[in-house]
């Protein structure tokens, strides 16, 4: 039976994270040829490639499985070492999780703040569309992910967090300029909307469902920021779907108006994480579930 040498996995992880053999060598205090040799040894061990030498450098499917395994071993080690060597200074624990931008802009950071203040945590938040965060968990980049997917991945478990309600809003001046005669097909083809990125299907699916307009038949801006969504809407630059949690004050003050009072887009969010989660990782996971259930009712 073949055994994996973890120093080879460590080198592999460094190359993927730093996206450079040279930077990985500096990080590991090795020469670049030594790092390349470790990658080659790992590939020879499993008799297949583990990465694609492209820009960016990407792991193959088997490479992703190796990384996923290695990151879980790191998590177990981070939990175990303080128990074995209690007299040693506690090093910060790097915790990586994937989140959608709207959760990050509203409830996630406040609920994690007490834990970060109490434990030596280095938080790494990977932001992606709520339909795509799950792939970062699948690839081993994170230990947990907030996603709209209900079905857990192999080796993972999932809990329902709750729902985020999205409202179609604009500033009063924007409404008066573009939707004075109401919001319909004819007025929408002239009014600029707002998307998070080209993978953002939320806006397109909502407009097509409610008004029968296909994506591309109306103008839109692209802004990679949930906070910027609010700014664009308040400045009268676009109409857009925004999580109600993020604009409660603006709706109350009238700075933003609900364009479709009888219509909402509802997204159910789930928390996916590795089945074997211990220590601080488990505390982070439990906090997200408990507090998420309170906020996302």
User: According to the model, what pLDDT value does residue 30 have?
Assistant: 85
Alpha-helical runs (H) found in the chain:
6-18, 21-28, 32-46, 61-84, 101-105, 108-118, 133-138, 172-178, 185-188, 202-211, 226-234, 248-253, 279-295
Residues of the chain with pLDDT under 70: 1, 79, 81-91
Q: Does a structural domain hold residue 52?
A: yes
The residue segments making up the domain with residue 247 are: 164-267
Structure tokens at 37: 């040799």
Residue 88 is predicted with a pLDDT of 54
Report the pLDDT value the prediction gives residue 1, as an integer from 0 to 100: 54
**169 shares its domain with 263:** yes
- Assess if residue 277 is contained within a domain: no
Does 258 lie in the same domain as 174? yes
| CATH code for the domain in which residue 31 is found | 1.10.10.10
First-residue to last-residue Cα distance in the chain: 50
- 1 and 82 both lie in a single domain: yes
Q: What is the pLDDT of residue 90?
A: 62
The reply to whether 217 falls in a domain is yes
pTM equals 0.79
Instruction: Please tell me whether residues 177 and 262 are part of one structural domain.
Output: yes
Domain boundary residue among 64, 91, 118? 91
Q: Which of 46, 61, 91 is the last residue of a domain?
A: 91
Whether a cis peptide bond, with omega within 30° of 0, leads into 111 is no
Cβ contacts of residue 212 below 8 Å, gap of 6+? Answer: 185
For residue 84, what are the contacts with CB-CB under 8 A and spacing of at least 6? Answer: none
Query: What DSSP state is assigned to residue 24?
Result: H
Q: Are residues 258 and 174 in the same domain?
A: yes
Judge contact between 27 and 15, C-beta under 8 A.
no
pLDDT digits (tens, 9 = 90+) for 65-124: 888 888 888 777 776 766 665 555 566 788 899 999 999 999 999 999 999 998 888 899
Task: Answer yes or no: do 257 and 170 share one domain.
Answer: yes
Cα dihedral: 21, 24, 25, 28 (round 10) = -160
Does a structural domain hold residue 291? no
In a domain, 78, yes or no: yes
In a domain, 61, yes or no: yes
Length of the chain: 297
Q: At what angle do helices 279-295 and 61-84 cross, to 10 degrees?
A: 110
CATH of the domain at 189: 3.40.190.10
> Can you tell me the distance from the alpha carbon of 80 to that of 92, in angstroms, rounded to the nearest whole number?
14
**Residue 176 falls inside a structural domain:** yes
How confident is the model at residue 125, as a pLDDT? 94
Judge whether 149 lies within some domain.
no
In this structure, the answer to whether residues 168 and 263 fall within a common structural domain is yes
Residue 81: per-residue pLDDT: 64
Query: Into how many domains does the chain fold?
Result: 2
């Amino acid at each position: 039976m073949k055994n994996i040498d973890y120093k080879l996995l460590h080198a592999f992880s460094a190359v993927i994270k730093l996206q450079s053999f040279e930077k990985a060598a500096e990080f590991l205090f090795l020469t670049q040829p030594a790092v390349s040799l470790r990658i080659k040894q790992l590939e020879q061990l499993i008799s297949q490639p583990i990465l694609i030498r492209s820009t960016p450098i990407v792991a193959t499917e088997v490479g992703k499985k190796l990384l996923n395994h290695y990151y879980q071993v790191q998590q177990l080690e981070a939990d175990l070492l303080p128990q074995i060597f209690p007299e040693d200074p506690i090093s910060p624990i790097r915790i990586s999780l994937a989140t959608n931008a709207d959760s990050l802009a509203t409830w996630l950071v406040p609920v994690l703040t007490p834990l970060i203040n109490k434990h030596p945590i280095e938080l790494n938040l990977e932001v992606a569309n709520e339909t795509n965060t799950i792939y970062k968990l699948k690839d081993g980049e994170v230990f947990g992910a907030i996603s709209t997917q209900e079905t857990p991945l192999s080796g993972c478990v999932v809990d329902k967090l709750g729902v985020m309600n999205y409202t179609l809003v604009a500033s009063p001046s924007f409404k008066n300029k573009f939707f004075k005669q109401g919001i319909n097909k004819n007025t929408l083809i002239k009014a600029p909307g707002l998307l998070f990125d080209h993978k953002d299907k939320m806006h397109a699916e909502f407009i097509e469902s409610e008004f029968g307009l296909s994506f591309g038949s109306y103008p839109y801006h692209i802004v990679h920021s949930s906070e910027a969504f609010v700014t664009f809407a308040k400045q009268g630059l676009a109409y857009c779907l925004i999580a109600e949690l993020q604009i409660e004050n603006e709706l109350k003050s009238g700075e933003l108006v609900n364009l479709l009072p009888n219509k909402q887009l509802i997204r159910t969010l789930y928390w996916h994480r590795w089945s074997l989660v211990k220590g601080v990782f488990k505390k982070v996971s439990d906090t997200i579930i408990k507090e998420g259930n309170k906020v996302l009712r």
